[in-house]
Amino acid sequence: RSFITAISVVVIACPCALALATPMASLVGISELAKKSLLFKEAKFIETIANATTVVFDKTGTLTKGELEVGFVEFFNKDEKSINLLYSLLDSSNHPVSIAVKRYIKENFEVSNLILEDVKNIEAKGLSARYENIEILGGNEALLKEFDVNINIDLNSKFTQYLFCIDKKIVANFELKDELKDDAKELIEYLKEQNIESIMLTGDNNFVASSIAKELEISNYKANLTPKDKADFIKDLKNSGKTVVMVGDGVNDSVALASSDVAIAMGNSADVSMMVSDVVMLNSKLKSLKDAFIISKKTYKHIKQNLAFSLIYNTITIPIAAAGFIIPLFAALSMSLSSLVVVLNSLRIKLK
């Protein structure tokens, strides 16, 4: 009788349900996330996203479409050489702003490409280069200040600006429009409902940042940031005890992405951003990002349910088996049934 009781206890105490609790739910969750065009590199990021307190967004290409168009142009010198120098500098960059201005120049002028020397990419500011003995610059206001350019025009604009200088004189000023993504407001509203703080970081000027933040009703935003500034800001958030999810798409976001608890790269991201990210979105729709939070929270909830059921099951059945009220046959059936309950509960993640 003692031997039969011992066998019953050993069988019923088999931790199959407990061992299946987390991996089974995670497997179903990752499968559902993949259907929503979300690739998780590790299952552990599901739990981190489910417990996130703060989501940090890049602006251009993340909250906005990143399809910039030149809306206003002011030329102070429109000779052929200046236009060719501008086009050649733009051709040295793959930044969305440079691409948009380059497209405008190509559509409106006859241009030829010049061979530039000493081309330098200055983080979050723009480009500098030389042609023969001429110094040329192309970028934002911060770039001009770094090179001590005399800014004699009004730069207070709600749009992204691109300034072109030759020998420290402003030759052209471009203002570029960018639209919000269709599902950006819906995502921000959802995060507010979940008591998750939304923060926007951008290298753009304060006027552009405040305009986008106001439209999305984001109260916390930072403008004129370098990639290092973004990374430091995220580190400060983490040091204050917050669980931070960072969403970005460009080379300038890679350092900040690497500093966050979970890094999410958009589908149109630069290769380096995808390399350092923990989650890759196969598209650029923010609805997929909302799905990531919904499914992650649902998966984490089912993991906790599975663990709770497994522990309660063992707490109740082991003493009964030890008292000799369960034979090995029923112990085996009970153990199998508990595993089946965990599997079926995990499959409930698939339900809408």
Q: Enumerate the active-site residues.
A: 58
**Whether 289 contacts 16, CB under 8 Å:** no
Q: What is the DSSP string of 154-220?
A: ----SSEEEEEEETTEEEEEEEEE-PBPTTHHHHHHHHHHTT-EEEEE-SS-HHHHHHHHHHHT--E
Long-range contacts of 349-352 (CB under 8 A, 24+ apart): 349/25, 349/28, 349/29, 349/32, 349/295, 349/298, 349/299, 349/302, 350/28, 350/32
**In this structure, how many other beta carbons lie within 10 angstroms of the beta carbon of residue 198?**
22
d(CA 305, CA 302): 5
Between the alpha carbon of residue 78 and those of residues 85, 108, 137, 280, the distances in Å are: 11, 12, 16, 44
Strand order through the sheet with 54-58: 38-40, 279-281, 262-265, 244-248, 54-58, 197-201, 220-222
Continuous H helices in 36-159: 44-50, 80-90, 96-108, 141-146
Residue 4 CB contacts under 8 Å (≥ 6 apart), including other chains: 324, 327, 328
From first CA to last CA, the distance across the chain in angstroms is 49
The residue type of 318 is I
d(CA 80, CA 111): 8
Task: For Cα atoms 260, 293, 215, give the angle at the middle one, nearest 5 degrees.
Answer: 80
**In this structure, how many other beta carbons lie within 10 angstroms of the beta carbon of residue 283?**
13
